[in-house]
Amino acid sequence: MTTMLFRDDAYLKEATGRVIGHTEEGGIVLDRTIFYPTGGGQPGDSGFLETDAGAIPIATTVKAKDGGIALVPAEMHTLPPEGADVRQRLDWRRRIAHMRVHTALHLLSVVIPLPVTGGQIGAGKGRLDFLMPEPPADISAIERQLNELIARNLPVSESWITDAELDANPGLVKTMSVAPPRGQGRVRLIRIGSGADEIDLQPCGGTHVARTGEIGAVTLGKPENKGRNNRRVSVLLAD
């Protein structure tokens, strides 16, 4: 099993690690990693893995069997052997963009309080699909509300509940298409705001900024019709 260092500190840009295995597809499994694996609509991280034989460009990161996380080289390379010590370096510009977009999408689900049927995160743009038979009457008003929440610079924090506690509180789950990350007997919750200023609480395994002000100003794309009862709303970072 790979220790997920990004869970403890999403701002880690570099870390050491040790190779504990390889996947059949040529991925490198480490004992601990700062690289987030593809999941929940968020792309896997990229960057570099520095070994005694040189640097290996990492194209993406994926989940491996038995709780492992595999870093996938961008091109054919001689893989470092099991037991080798390596240094991980994130493509930080890409990762922080994912964190900003992901947190912005949580806020979008606050200003559009409808069930979410799908979502995707990119480095400068993200989107949510909503169970929304009719398009929003005033998308500019929604954009304004979203930017107001961002500007409040609310704290973003995490907590954990048991699987049983989640089952007893199904209203915490906003997404209809992606199940909350389970498997270890507990579920991670992402909270935006605190105390009387708490505005959102939902299960999520992804990476987020520490305060909403780090998202910066955003714009919303024109809602797209994605079926009889679905509308897609996109969020674009200003920079």
State the sign of the Cα–Cα–Cα–Cα dihedral 17, 19, 24, 25.
Answer: positive
Does the pLDDT of residue 177 top 80, yes or no? no
Does the pLDDT of residue 17 top 90, yes or no? yes
Mean pLDDT, to the nearest integer, of 127-134?
94
pTM: 0.91
Minimum mean pLDDT range among 14-23, 148-157, 171-180, 183-192: 171-180
Does the pLDDT of residue 168 top 90, yes or no? no
Mind listing the pLDDT tens digit for each residue in 83-95? 999 999 999 999 9
Q: What percent of the chain has pLDDT over 70?
A: 94
State the sign of the Cα–Cα–Cα–Cα dihedral 101, 106, 111, 116.
Answer: positive
Instruction: Read off the amino acid at residue 115.
Output: P
State residue 184's pLDDT score: 66
How distant, in Å, are the alpha carbons of 47, 123, 134, 162 from that of 177? 29, 22, 20, 21
| Residue 147 burial (C-beta neighbours within 10 Å; 0-12, 13-18, 19+) | buried
Does the pLDDT of residue 182 top 60, yes or no? no
Tell me the domain boundaries of the chain: 3-90, 95-237
Does the pLDDT of residue 29 top 90, yes or no? yes
Mean pLDDT, to the nearest integer, of 161-180?
68
State residue 161's pLDDT score: 76
In this structure, are residues 109 and 200 in contact, taking their beta carbons and an 8 Å threshold? yes
Mean pLDDT, to the nearest integer, of 47-59?
95
Mind listing the pLDDT tens digit for each residue in 56-77? 999 999 999 989 999 999 988 7
Give phi and psi for 201, each to the nearest 5: -150, 115
Q: How many CB atoms lie within 10 A of CB 105?
A: 24
Does the pLDDT of residue 174 top 80, yes or no? no
| The CATH fold of domain 95-237 | Threonyl-tRNA Synthetase; Chain A, domain 2 (3.30.980)
pLDDT band at 175 (very low <50, low <70, confident <90, very high): low
| Residue 3 burial (C-beta neighbours within 10 Å; 0-12, 13-18, 19+) | middle
User: What CATH number was assigned to the domain covering residues 3-90?
Assistant: 2.40.30.130
Angle of helix 92-111 versus helix 139-151 axis, rounded to 10: 120
Instruction: Read off the amino acid at residue 85.
Output: D
Distance CA 67, CA 49 (A): 20
